[in-house]
């Protein structure tokens, strides 16, 4: 079973240190203070930024939810391997609705999650795919913020929007609420954690295991 185990002490330390992170996640700056020259905010509405990210038919008979961190290597392995097949066989055929929720394990994972949510919603999963495919490069870069900014650029996001996004207090708090709500509701101990129709999937993260589970549910 491939899982990236949550280290609660490390997460607590991360939360304490987040205020002085080199990426400046928490500053006194607000979205309003980073308005453009026309007086309009350069970020999407906060409700849109924090809404569930969904692939597939909303009325699909099965709902799959993933909690993941964009710096988690096993999450990258799942997205670049097993999930591609799940998407092709079950999501794109209307059998499964897939919901991606952030569960950042460190400040870089948090920055990546915030950045992806600030991208145009229709490009969200394309950006997530790039983030996971290039995880080894950007997460280990000497300047990971600059590396993330380059990924954001691929989504049509300006440097100004990127900078505003990763220091926005409301987005920070919203992403952490998604994480904390998931932890409270589902007692998440590792990433990726997959839930199928509200129940934690305990099998190996292989396409064979998922086919067995999903096909059994579809027969009910």
pLDDT on residue 41 = 57
Question: What does each of the 220 residues of the chain score in pLDDT, given as a tens digit?
Answer: 445 444 444 444 444 334 334 444 433 334 444 444 344 558 999 999 999 999 999 999 999 999 999 999 999 999 999 999 999 999 999 999 999 999 999 999 999 999 999 999 999 999 999 999 999 999 999 999 999 999 999 888 999 999 999 999 999 999 999 999 999 999 998 999 999 999 999 878 899 999 999 999 999 8
Structure tokens at 12: 């607590």
Does the domain spanning 4-218 belong to CATH 3.40.30.10?
Answer: yes
Cα separation of 58 and 62, whole Å? 10
Q: For residues 216 and 220, give the distance between their C-alpha atoms in angstroms, rounded to a whole number.
A: 7
**What's the pTM?**
0.83
72, 105 Cβ separation under 8 angstroms: yes
**C-alpha distances in Å from residue 112, one per residue of 49, 71, 198:** 13, 8, 26
Q: How far apart are CA 145 and CA 118, in angstroms?
A: 15
End-to-end CA distance of the chain: 26
Answer yes or no: are the C-beta atoms of 72 and 191 closer than 8 Å: yes
């Amino acid at each position: 079973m491939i899982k990236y185990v949550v280290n609660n002490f490390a997460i607590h330390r991360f939360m304490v240190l987040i205020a002085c992170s080199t990426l400046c996640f928490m500053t006194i700056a607000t979205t309003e203070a980073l308005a453009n020259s026309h007086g309009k905010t350069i970020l999407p509405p906060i409700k849109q930024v924090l809404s569930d990210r969904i692939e597939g038919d909303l009325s699909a008979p099965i709902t799959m939810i993933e909690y993941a961190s964009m710096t988690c290597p096993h999450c990258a392995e799942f997205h670049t391997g097993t999930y591609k097949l799940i998407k092709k066989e079950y999501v794109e055929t209307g059998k499964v609705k897939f919901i991606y929720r952030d569960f950042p394990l460190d400040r870089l994972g948090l920055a990546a999650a915030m950045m992806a949510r600030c991208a145009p919603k229709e490009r969200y999963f394309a950006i997530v795919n790039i983030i996971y495919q290039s995880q080894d490069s950007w997460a280990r870069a000497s300047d990971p913020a600059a590396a993330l900014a380059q990924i954001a650029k691929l989504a049509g996001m300006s440097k100004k929007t990127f900078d505003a996004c990763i220091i926005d207090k409301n987005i920070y708090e919203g992403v952490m609420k998604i994480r904390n709500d998931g932890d409270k509701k589902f007692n998440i101990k590792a990433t990726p954690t997959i839930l199928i129709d509200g129940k934690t999937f305990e099998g190996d993260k292989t396409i064979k295991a998922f086919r067995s589970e999903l096909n059994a549910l579809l027969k009910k």
